[in-house]
Chains A and B, each alone.
Chain A
């Protein structure tokens, strides 16, 4: 078993038995579901909106080459420096080089999952740069030296008391556990950093090919300060973030807010089209945009699962996923957790090493139903299983299915198997749930139904 699998299984077992966390997550996501459903009602027709969004994303992804060229041409025309990074390593080096050129020391960051994907903070800190996360949730997990728990709600696993204790310990200041007080503590730390930071770093929610704009969505105003105050701005985004037209935002901004957080619109929606222009009084003097591939083009080449590039990182599939709800975000061991993470991680980081995430699903399809851009998520999990088994079949598992096939296809064997089950079940009590129980994976927590003497087929045969 690879270390990724054993780490996943160990943590999943531990977390899924944590009843306090289970109740806490269930309650908070229940609140999300109610808010989301209310906001969905504000759309004239949510299903039509999903269809329109999916079609826009198909258009964007199927013509990614021309959209990217247009985006870059428009960005460069207004003085933005655009960089292309094929790998995470290249992206890290591009960013580090900009920081070195600027002789930067302090970098203030707004939320960017792509930076988590390329493990940017770690790399920059190793080079001696100081990096501060300005999104409150990200700031909290940074203080805990943790990865974000959820792509939209980074610190959703923590209670207000946990955060108060953390602030008390790390910042020496936490008057109470109210959101207002805790936010004020974080704000006092952060405001100083905005003023002294040399470089502001952001991610992106959408990139508009038609106008050459980057759209950033946030609730705290931290991304605006990050982009506006430091002299240099760096934006890192995956190449799949592109949307063809400015008017597409009319659908995607409310859709992202609704699906992601049950909000009508996110509080701050800003479009950036370039660094400070002559005659303008604010904004960064220099803006670098880094377009990251990092194996996205390999996913693009997979006609069956290409729609996974539609993902707008709203987190809706995580919120409804019973696996995510029970094992939590950190258990996945990946940047992108939940259903979409289970689909794309095998493409981004290797199928055989990450196929267990596709297996760890009951294929309930709640994710696919929730996805605002209609990614066929749970069927992609099945396809990953098929691809993994075809490339490297597990010897005993395949053998078991071959034997099962022989038994199922021969009525006499099938009859015998049922009779053996009925005869041996009374003996099962002696080993039930123990280490030598052949059914222990089931019986450790669950009873088996008693096998009837007369099966359905016995009944059918007898009545004829």
Chain B
């Protein structure tokens, strides 16, 4: 299969290892990966702030680039939700409405694609650490992704997964983190405390943006817990 991999702007600029891991995993599974270089951002920041025209300016070339893809795989639940769930809403009533619906049908979040499209869970990874998994809210509640990353982690050799007692937002929320920094920080601190209670060495997530927020708090507070993307864990040997 030819997979069109959409690497979110965060991953491109700040967490290239997560994106590289996705490419390597998909290629190892025998798929052809293409990565349109013109795509930078899905347009979620202006969309979530209510600026739909500005969001369409960014999203239109993305949609056109993804138009004839066999399968679109996005390395983030948040950007995945944007394309899969919110593009049809953003483009409703425009000449791109049908294209947005079509692309949404062929779009997958990375872990969902592995488990539910390719039917793969075992990737031969080995990660001898105690980890906990953070569900990014968009992946969890907009796309209903919860079992998929756990099915993948269950097959990682020597990995011990300890769940947090509460499912809660990390407090990132895009521009929310800058508009309401103290609320965002408080939410992140609650998240970090929940993760620390598990005794995990690593917090794993499908969303690098959540991890950026969590890691930003952990390192400022000198906490030992580390963060790592799911793709990187799955790409270990």
Cα A404 to Cα B40 in complex, Å, equals 11
Which of B94-102, B103-111, B124-132, B178-186 is near enough to bind chain A?
B178-186
Cα A195 to Cα B44 in complex, Å, equals 60
Verify if B2 is at the interface (C-beta below 8 Å from A).
no
21 cross-chain CB contacts under 8 A: A16-B185, A30-B166, A322-B169, A360-B179, A360-B180, A360-B183, A363-B173, A364-B137, A365-B138, A366-B141, A382-B48, A388-B50, A397-B49, A398-B51, A405-B54, A405-B58, A409-B58, A411-B40, A441-B179, A457-B7, A457-B35
Contacts A411-B38, A445-B217; is A456 near B19 (CB within 8 Å)? yes
Q: Which residues of B contact A363 (CB under 8 A)?
A: 48, 137-138, 173, 176
Verify if A247 is at the interface (C-beta below 8 Å from B).
no
Pick the contact of A447 from B54, B181, B219 — CB < 8 Å? Answer: B219
Verify if A297 is at the interface (C-beta below 8 Å from B).
no
Can you list, as one digit per residue, whether each of A365-377 has a CB less than 8 Å from chain B (1) or not (0)? 1101100000000
Interface size class of chain B, counting residues whose CB lies under 8 Å from the partner chain = 35 or more
Verify if A362 is at the interface (C-beta below 8 Å from B).
yes
A448 touches B185 (CB 8 A): no
| Shortest Cβ-Cβ A-B pairs, 9 listed | A362-B173, A389-B50, A446-B216, A385-B50, A364-B169, A365-B141, A16-B186, A364-B137, A456-B19
Q: Which residues of B contact A360 (CB under 8 A)?
A: 176, 179-180, 183
Contacts A359-B176, A447-B219; is A456 near B12 (CB within 8 Å)? yes
B52 touches A445 (CB 8 A): no
Pick the contact of B186 from A22, A33, A402, A459 — CB < 8 Å? Answer: A22
Verify if A452 is at the interface (C-beta below 8 Å from B).
yes
Verify if A13 is at the interface (C-beta below 8 Å from B).
yes
A408 touches B14 (CB 8 A): no
Can you list, as one digit per residue, whether each of A99-138 has a CB less than 8 Å from chain B (1) or not (0)? 0000000000000000000000000000000000000000
Verify if B69 is at the interface (C-beta below 8 Å from A).
no
Verify if A161 is at the interface (C-beta below 8 Å from B).
no
Which A1-30 residues have a C-beta within 8 angstroms of B? 9, 12-13, 16-17, 22, 26, 30
A408 touches B185 (CB 8 A): no
A446 touches B183 (CB 8 A): no
Q: Which residues of A contact B188 (CB under 8 A)?
A: 446
Instruction: Give A384's nearest chain B residue, CB to CB.
Output: B50
Cα A145 to Cα B134 in complex, Å, equals 41
Cα A327 to Cα B169 in complex, Å, equals 15
Pick the contact of A445 from B16, B55, B181 — CB < 8 Å? Answer: B181
Which B1-44 residues have a C-beta within 8 angstroms of A? 7, 9, 11-16, 19-20, 23, 35, 37-38, 40-41, 43
